[in-house]
Chains A and B, each alone.
Chain A
Amino acid sequence: DTGVSQDPRHKITKRGQNVTFRCDPISEHNRLYWYRQTLGQGPEFLTYFQNEAQLEKSRLLSDRFSAERPKGSFSTLEIQRTEQGDSAMYLCASSPNVDTQYFGPGTRLTVL
């Protein structure tokens, strides 16, 4: 069990650029979640995958956001045409069941 990993840990970009984050879940975990955490707030749910299927999306996930989980392994979260309001920590979590989620270290995005 090597834990959930995320890459990159930090990303600084200019407004209007596209960014992509990667999450590698704990192997054999079929559930994968993405959350966004802004300064001084708790994480907020963005989207959920079971294996390769994206089964749930929050209304926070605007059409500039897209997530994939090809082959049910790693997942990517892409933000197109970034805005300053997208600056946040993006957290990935994986789970073997509905009970417990294990979080990665997060990717901190700063949009200038």
Chain B
Amino acid sequence: AQSVTQLGSHVSVSEGALVLLRCNYSSSVPPYLFWYVQYPNQGLQLLLKYTSAATLVKGINGFEAEFKKSETSFHLTKPSAHMSDAAEYFCAVSVRYGGSQGNLIFGKGTKLSVKP
């Protein structure tokens, strides 16, 4: 079975500070991992994805994530937070075994607040 766990349902940072959102995964096969962002009352926008190529993945809006197999982690970072980064962030793993066709299993989300 595959799963993701997001540590911390709420994270608050000051504008200009480092953003670190934590995600740990469990997978019996090499995982495909994703980070999505959701603004209030909107759908999900893909930030970045890991599909077994480079372990350091760069995404949109200055976000990046590093796949660490030894730690089963895929944490999302951004060097300097901006007010517009305030949103909810979801980590997800793609189910690619047992006949499944790539549907995503999501974590419970982390709400990021940015203080001026």
Which residues of B, 53-90, contact A by the 8 Å Cβ criterion?
A: 90
Could you tell me the dominant secondary structure of chain B's interface residues? loop
A65 at the interface (CB under 8 A from B): no
B22 at the interface (CB under 8 A from A): no
Residues of B within 8 A of A31 (CB): 101-102
Tell me how many residue pairs across A and B have CB atoms closer than 8 Å.
Answer: 68
**B42: shortest Cβ distance to chain A, in Å?**
6
**A76: shortest Cβ distance to chain B, in Å?**
18
- Bound-state Cα–Cα, A106 to B44, Å: 9
In the complex, are the beta carbons of B43 and A56 less than 8 A apart?
A: no
Q: Which of B34, B46, B101 is within 8 Å of A56, CB to CB?
A: B101
In the complex, are the beta carbons of A95 and B102 less than 8 A apart?
A: yes
- Bound-state Cα–Cα, A56 to B92, Å: 19
B20 at the interface (CB under 8 A from A): no
Could you tell me the dominant secondary structure of chain A's interface residues? strand
- Bound-state Cα–Cα, A29 to B32, Å: 20
Residues of A within 8 A of B49 (CB): 99-100
Q: Which of B44, B99, B105 is within 8 Å of A103, CB to CB?
A: B44
B107 at the interface (CB under 8 A from A): yes
**Chain B residues in the interface with A (C-beta under 8 A):** 32, 34, 36, 41-46, 49, 51, 90, 92, 94-96, 99-109
> Which 6 pairs from chain A and chain B are nearest by CB?
A42-B106, A98-B102, A103-B43, A45-B103, A103-B44, A105-B43
